[in-house]
Amino acid sequence: MLKERVLKALNDQINAEQYSALMYLSMSAWFEDKGLPGFANWMYVQYQEELTHANKIFKFVVERNSKAELKAIEQMPVEFNSLLEVVEKTLAHEQHVTELINNIVDVATEERDHATQSFLQWFVDEQVEEEANVSEILDSLRLIEGDAKGNGLFMLDRELRQRTFVDTTQPV
pLDDT tens, residue by residue, 29-53:
999 999 999 999 999 999 999 999 9
Domain spans of the chain, in order of start = 4-69+81-160
Which pLDDT score, from 0 to 100, does residue 116 have?
Answer: 98
Which pLDDT score, from 0 to 100, does residue 172 have?
Answer: 53
Cα gap 131→6, rounded to integer Å: 25
Residue 137 has pLDDT above 80, yes or no: yes
Which pLDDT score, from 0 to 100, does residue 160 have?
Answer: 94
34-to-39, 103, 149 alpha-carbon distances in Å: 10, 37, 12
CA angle 93, 94, 100 (to 5 degrees): 90
Confirm if 62 and 68 have CB atoms less than 8 A apart.
yes
Q: Does this model's pTM top 0.85?
A: yes
Which pLDDT score, from 0 to 100, does residue 164 have?
Answer: 82
Which pLDDT score, from 0 to 100, does residue 162 have?
Answer: 87
**What does the DSSP assignment read for 125-160?**
HHHHHHHHHHHHHHHHHHHTTTT--SHHHHHHHHHH
Cα gap 161→171, rounded to integer Å: 26
The superfamily (CATH) of domain 4-69+81-160 is: Ferritin, core subunit, four-helix bundle (1.20.1260.10)
